[in-house]
Structure 1
């Protein structure tokens, strides 16, 4: 059996050699030698001339394409909207693929060539989303276009979807069945949105309690996904949500006015009845 102390010493020696070699390679003098400069005679002019030589030696058509591709890649990191980001990414991939072809690098060429159709498919999906979101702002209040982004869920009679003042994190679209907003005693039929007001409240609180009164199916989408659609659709979807919530608020206001009118009519009838009864008593 070998001596443990000897093995430890050998390992220590190897590590020390590795560290010494790494330190030697990182020395300024050695770097200058590798650049073709004399460490003992360094001037700004000599350094500038050498750097210029290196740059000029690397000015090739392949490197120029790679440089333009790098510029577009950096641009994608600065963009906030998805559509122009995808376009810039596709342009950058095209330049990188061309650079790989010119330099004879098959790996670079194939990598960026395969990224082009991936970005093209995502760009097409985004453009379709933008188009549908824009059509929604022009009066089409249909929710058909958002269904592919939603998840199916089923409820049975007596189930509570959410309660007033609960933390809201998703929106619902009714498909079948009936649902009741308990605070205002309003039934929600199929094809209606629920929970969209919680998306706009400051603390994302539910503004009512919704209960299932007839077995049914709903589609759900999280507020996080809604925000993704909002940013991807160039803010058109935000206006679309405002239209929906405004419509809901107007409906609630109209319903409140009707309730107030009925209450006033009831009070007037009761007052008239009391006055009639009092007049008969006096007579």
Structure 2
């Protein structure tokens, strides 16, 4: 048999009477303005309703909306909407701080706004560059904000074939040589991207510095983070590395063709 509203109210009142016997609960009831010796469900509900209505102010409404946006950021899986929601939440919390005269709250969320704005701009640029991959834009300049600077001198070895690969390089100045295929890498070229794709993350070649220069580096962990933040970046990176592989294959075919041509010339020049 289903319980009616009177039975539920009676049960709740009994629960409240039992809870009021606890000193901590009794103290809380006193703070709420209730008599611990004579507390009922209706009295508690009405008192909480009064407190809620009394605290409905413009400032608290801004704080409530800001809290909703904050919770929304915890539920989002991609960075762009997360940053947008975070900026909206910071705006409402900063307004709450201004209306209540809470300087620390106002300054905290006011300072968080430009930080989120800068990160959002970087991510939007990332997505924009990724979307242009299909049109053949293979520039890696957009990746600079996520990379760190490193300098090398002539004779320094950046990495050796077979080493464990943990980062990717972008040349800025100087000259670098891939020893196995005797290819020089000018500024603006990518190095070490294939190690990101190999199953065991091993270097596929040895690169040495042949002229003092500067490179930018980014770890594979950061690359993975960018991939999960923007699936378009994953496509962009695959197109880029595929182009590198095709260049290597074309270079190898050219070398083989030159060797075959040299062999035929040597055979033709031999006396009968």
Q: TM-score, normalised by structure 1?
A: 0.72
Partner of 2:183: 186
Instruction: Name which of 2, 27, 31 aligns with 2:28.
Output: 31
| SS at 1:191 equivalent | coil
Q: Does residue 101 in structure 1 map to residue 98 in structure 2?
A: yes
Partner of 1:205: 202
Q: Does residue 62 in structure 1 map to residue 55 in structure 2?
A: no
Residues 41-72 of structure 1 show CA distances to partners (whole Å, capped at 9, x for unaligned) of 34333333332222222222221111111011
Residues 163-199 of structure 1 show CA distances to partners (whole Å, capped at 9, x for unaligned) of 1221112222234444333333433344321111112
Distance in 2 separating the partners of 1:236 and 1:197: 19
Distance in 2 separating the partners of 1:26 and 1:162: 69
| SS at 1:207 equivalent | coil
- Where in structure 2 are there 5+ consecutive unaligned residues? 1-21
Report 1:224-263 matches (<5 A). 224-231=221-228, 234-261=230-257
Cα distance, 1:104 vs. partner?
Answer: 4.0
Instruction: Name which of 216, 227, 237 aligns with 2:212.
Output: 216
Partner of 1:76: 73
**Aligned CA distance change for structure 1 residues 137 and 237 (closer, same or farther; 3 Å):** farther
- Where in structure 1 are there 5+ consecutive unaligned residues? 1-24
Residues 81-113 of structure 1 show CA distances to partners (whole Å, capped at 9, x for unaligned) of 332222112211221223233334344334333
Report if aligned partners of 1:151, 1:219 keep a CA contact under 8 Å in 2: yes
Distance in 2 separating the partners of 1:106 and 1:255: 64
What is the alpha-carbon root mean square deviation over aligned residues?
A: 3.2
The size of the alignment, in residue pairs, is 248
Q: TM-score, normalised by structure 2?
A: 0.75
Once the two structures are overlaid, the 10-residue window that deviates more, 32-41 or 61-70, is 32-41
